[in-house]
Amino acid sequence: MKALEALEFDNRYARLPQAFFKQTAPTPLHGAFVATFNADAAALLDLAPDESVRAEFLACMSGQRLLPGMEPLAMCYAGHQFGTYVARLGDGRALLLGQVRNDAGQSWDLHLKGGGPTPYSRGGDGRAVLRSTIREYLCSEAMHGLGIASSRALCIIGSDEEVYREQIETGAMLVRLAPSHVRFGSFEYFYHTEQFDHLQRLADHVIDDHFPQLQSRQGKYLALLGEVIRRTAALIAHWQAVGFAHGVLNTDNMSILGLTLDYGPFGFLDRYQPGFVCNHSDHQGRYAFDQQPNVGLFNLSCLAQAMLPLLSDEPAHAVEQAKDQLQTYETTLADEYAQLMRAKLGLQSSESGDQALCAELLQHMADDDADYTLTFRALAELSAAGESSAAPFCEHFRRHDAIHGWTRRYVERFRRENADPTERRARMQCANPKYILRNHLAETAIRAAVDHGDFSEVERLRALLTRPYDEQPGMQHYAAPPPDWARHIAVSCSS
């Protein structure tokens, strides 16, 4: 484990042409302090956990001082926001401080969110509020715990600075880590400004750094597009299986590596509502939970269009190739989703009726307002104990007769596999989390931090959510559905 000064910076993004970014120094926050620190994420950098208590750590992570090797910059990109193309976005309140190479040879972007205005702030203040910073901190780690690709969170920097949103809030910063912050929108920017040399440069950068196996491939840009399609399909299948709604699936929030990126008004399903809209500014429900697979395809089409000049000198041929690649999306997503749902049902083989069995369960859950997470978790118990003890599972439903019929067919189905019940339950518990980041849990942690400067609940939750599939003694109440006060928390887009 290393001291802060021993971190090795290898800033390859900063070596790209000037058109890719603007060098921008962070603007420190008044009264900055290290509010929380995540040793798990620090380990990705080989950073020793006790470094977090040094004054130097605070200074370097809050933008007061730069570590040797840091070259802060704001990345330039564009994007489709709610279906409309916005020609110039870019990091309006985030800075890539530098890229750290760890001893295993992996590279991690050190990204400071809320670091003050940049040339891309478009009139915004360049700040993030403590509330949304805590939500991103917790959710990135919760997603990682669930086994879903995500940016990671190193620490939150608190402050006593006021930030104006719908009301006065406290400003804060988040230091996040990801192998790359390149977005679909980064490609769109160079395509729509007809800077095709830069477009190619960007694609080469992504290939060299993240897909080196494609370097010497014929048609490597088409292969890159195929890889992004595959990863995005797998990511969204995972979101659907776990009940996660991102909330702002604009192309500038889509990672070229298929990571969950830019947490805003996200939400996990409590009761199973396919049309769940977590972002209260999304009046049309464009980014509703059940729309995410379609939105993924729309976003990938935007990316594919932006990559057309790289695919072939002959435009019609390029379009044909892109279309062929895009056709793989729906089947990949459906296959991934089917596999994840089969695991949630504890099935190891595949039978023709499985998809219908799963769809019927989801329909019962939707009809009866069953809690998505708890119902699947209860199914693991049912599958171990058998039909005679179906009662705890059936209690999640209002119409017991209807769900009993389903249960009977489910039991018949898994019995055909002859698996050991205890082993099946263990498998199912690894596919059906007990603990998710429900809004009311985040809200409780936020209230303690914002109102009382007490971050202990943030840390307790983070630690809990790193092991969402495990039974954790004494933590049962964190698995409960939302209390009445929290049933209608609407999450604002302003963050």
d(CA 251, CA 356): 33
Among positions 51, 91, 188, 282, the unique one binding ligand AMP when judged by CB under 6 A: 91
CB under 5 to 8 A by kind: which of Mg ion, ligand AMP, none does 169 bind? none
Q: Where are the beta strands (DSSP E) in 277-428?
A: none
Backbone phi, then psi, for 485, in 5-degree steps? -60, -20
Among positions 56, 125, 330, 387, the unique one binding ligand AMP when judged by CB under 6 A: 125
The site for ligand AMP, by CB under 6 A, has a size of 16
d(CA 442, CA 461): 8
Active site annotation includes 46: no
Active-site option among 46, 109, 252, 282: 252
Side-chain half-sphere CA neighbours of 426 within 13 A: 5
Residues 6+ apart with CB under 8 A from 478: 435, 441, 461, 464, 472
Residue nearer to Mg ion on the CB measure, 84 or 218: 84
Residue nearer to ligand AMP on the CB measure, 93 or 198: 93
Q: Which of residues 316-335 bind ligand AMP (CB under 6 A)?
A: none
121 in contact with ligand AMP (CB under 6 A): yes
Among positions 68, 124, 275, 405, the unique one binding ligand AMP when judged by CB under 6 A: 124
Among positions 62, 118, 253, 279, the unique one binding Mg ion when judged by CB under 5 A: 253
CB under 5 to 8 A by kind: which of Mg ion, ligand AMP, none does 125 bind? ligand AMP
d(CA 372, CA 481): 10
User: Cβ-count burial of 14 within 10 angstroms (0-12 exposed, 13-18 middle, 19+ buried)?
Assistant: middle
Q: Residue 226's CB: how many other CB atoms inside 10 A?
A: 19
Beta bridge pairs of residue 113: 94, 174
The site for Mg ion, by CB under 5 A, has a size of 2
Q: Which of residues 126-185 bind ligand AMP (CB under 6 A)?
A: 126-127
Among positions 169, 188, 262, 443, the unique one binding Mg ion when judged by CB under 5 A: 262
Q: Candidates 52-60, 86-94, 306-314, 368-376: pick the segment binding ligand AMP (CB under 6 A).
A: 86-94
Most distant pair of Cα atoms in the chain: their distance: 68
Q: How many residues does the chain have?
A: 495
Residue nearer to Mg ion on the CB measure, 67 or 172: 172
Helix 315-344 / helix 220-242 crossing angle, nearest 10 deg:
30
Contact status, residue 377 vs residue 476, Cβ threshold 8 Å? no
Q: Which x/- pattern over 235-254 shows residues binding ligand AMP (rule: CB under 6 A)?
A: -------------x-x--x-
* Binding residues vs Mg ion (CB under 5 A): 253, 262
* Binding residues vs ligand AMP (CB under 6 A): 89-94, 121, 124-127, 248, 250, 253, 262, 264
Could you list the active site residues? 252
